[in-house]
Structure 1
Amino acid sequence: LLETKKLIVESAFLETSTTPLYKKIIDIKHKATKLGIKQINIFPLFLLPGVHVKEDIPQQLQLAQEHLGEEIKLNVLPYLGNQTSLVHHILQAQFTNLPGEGKILLSHGSRRQEAKQATEKIAEKLGALVAYWSKPSSLQDKIQYFINQGLKQIAIVPYFLFPGKIIDTISQEIDHWQKQLSPVELNFGTPLGETPTLASLIVAELLSL
């Protein structure tokens, strides 16, 4: 929590929290009112325009606004992944540092077509193939594709923001495949949120409001 006379910065979660997002916003409203703040800015820390960005967050904000009335305005900022040039820079740096003749950008996957299109556009600029963890066009399929092409080193960069259970599971699966695929080398990168550059962007975005 960061507070000044006119600024409150807090975190809220869409999932894995006992407090729904809309209730968290209502709680923040009480602090904001005391400081004379009339607008709450929401910065979605998501990489793609998927279900959370396009459906879940708007639903939660609608519930919050119904409780808040006209006392405070809710303003949703562009989601983090909309900063395409910086995201591309971070991903490119990872691919540059990971040994790999073949490059795979691994995304979670979404049922929303625009999220898929955004991922494919990023991968195309990086010269990488797209694989999805929860949708068809799997990571294992793309690894096998490169093996069939005779490649011996494959770089895999996760298009995820933070580490967690999914990244742990992916890492374990890659370790398992690595044992079976020797001498092919699978090199796994890190989520974007672990880079100082992205952390600096988040801070700068909040302080610029």
Structure 2
Amino acid sequence: MLSAYLLVSHGSRDPRQEIAMQQLAKLVNNKLESNLQRSIIGGVVSPPKCELVGTAYLELKPEPLHEQIKRFAEMLKANGYHRLKILPLFLLAGVHVMEDIPGEVALAQQAVEDIIIELQPYLGSHAGVEKLLAKQIAKSSENGYNQGWILLTHGSRRPGSKKQVEAMAANLGVLTAYWSVAPSLESRVKQLVSADCKNITILPYFLFAGGITDAIARSELQLKLQFPAVRFQLAEPLGASAELADLIWDLINK
């Protein structure tokens, strides 16, 4: 049974995030087309009749998520497809992943007949995300002696939501900080400075550039003024890369 895929992110008023989502969807679609081409040559499937990789947003769109899913599913159904896989592009198992998105998917499934809507694991659950961060750490390790790293993520007040990112940080040998809950970025910087770190790299654990990453950049400038003896480096968010598309492809095929 040929599947289609819907990549779901939080949504933002910042146009950079929607552009990045479209870029990422295109990368995933390229992988799908390559896979389908091999199957078509082998006589396994017929060529796709419509777009098979779409994007949707939990918030800040005119339609609620379940309506976006329904619209995409009805387009698939009209073209003879019977299965839609939903992939949450979220890095933490917060309220959105554990409650909001499953509820929206259930509403969409109730409204659409003759098509199976499957919710896949969220992006941050893939072990490959840790490998992407490890590459960033290895790159920043060239900066000098007394190096420290801070993995900075949004954070959630949902019980247990920090477990996955804390375990990943422990494996990577870095400290965690949170934008919306404690411990804060500044408190972690003070901890590293007290341990005589002269080079500190901040790793923003976010998918795309946006309002929060801009605010993090402003915070870095303030930290440079506050700790002039320390060399700071701010890494880029994960971004719409071929490597990230590989992780998504792996998740949607589980």
* 1:82 aligned partner: 125
Per the alignment, in what secondary structure is the counterpart of residue 115 of structure 1?
A: coil
What amino acid is aligned across from residue 116 of structure 2 in structure 1? K
Q: Which moved more, 1:97-106 or 1:181-190?
A: 97-106
1:176 shift after superposition? 1.6
Residue in structure 1 matching 2:65, options 11, 14, 21 = 21
- Number of the residue aligned with 1:93: 135
Query: Which segment is superposed worse, 5-14 or 50-59?
Result: 5-14
More moved, 132-141 vs 113-122: 113-122
1:6 shift after superposition: 7.1
- The 8 Å contact of residues 13 and 21 in structure 1, kept in 2 or not, is answered as yes
TM-score, normalized by length of structure 1? 0.90
Match of 2:245 in 1: 199
Match of 1:174 among 207, 213, 220: 220
**Counterpart in the other structure of 2:190:** 144
In the other structure, the counterpart of 1:37 is: 81
Partners in 2 of 1:81 and 1:193 — Cα distance? Answer: 14
| Contact 1:193–1:199, Cα closer than 8 Å, also in 2 | no
Q: Which sections of structure 1, spanning at least 5 residues, go unmatched?
A: none
Greater RCO structure (CA 8 Å; 6+ sep): 2
Is 1:121 the counterpart of 2:164 in the alignment? no
The whole-number CA distance in structure 2 between the counterparts of 1:197 and 1:65 is: 31
Q: CA deviation at 1:203?
A: 4.8
Q: Is 2:154 the counterpart of 1:108?
A: yes
Any conservation in 2 of the 1:6–1:36 contact (CA below 8 Å)?
Answer: no
Shift of 1:7: 6.0
SS at match of 2:57: coil
Aligned residues: 206
Q: Structure 1 residue 39: deviation in Å?
A: 1.6
- SS class of match (1:131): strand
- Partner Cα distance (1:192, 1:12) in 2: 19
Gapped runs of 5+ residues in structure 2? Answer: 1-25, 30-46
What is the CA distance between 1:186 and its match in structure 2?
1.3
String of CA shifts for 1:34-66, please: whole Å, max 9, x gaps. Answer: 222122110111112111110110111122122
The answer to whether the 8 A contact 1:174-1:186 is kept is yes
Structure 1 moving runs of 4+ over 4 Å: 203-206
Summarize the alignment of residues 157-172 of structure 1 with structure 2, pairs less than 5 Å apart.
157-172=203-218
Alignment partner of 2:88: what SS?
Answer: coil
- Counterpart position of 1:188: 234
Residues 1:142 and 1:16: Cα distance change in structure 2 (over 3 Å): same
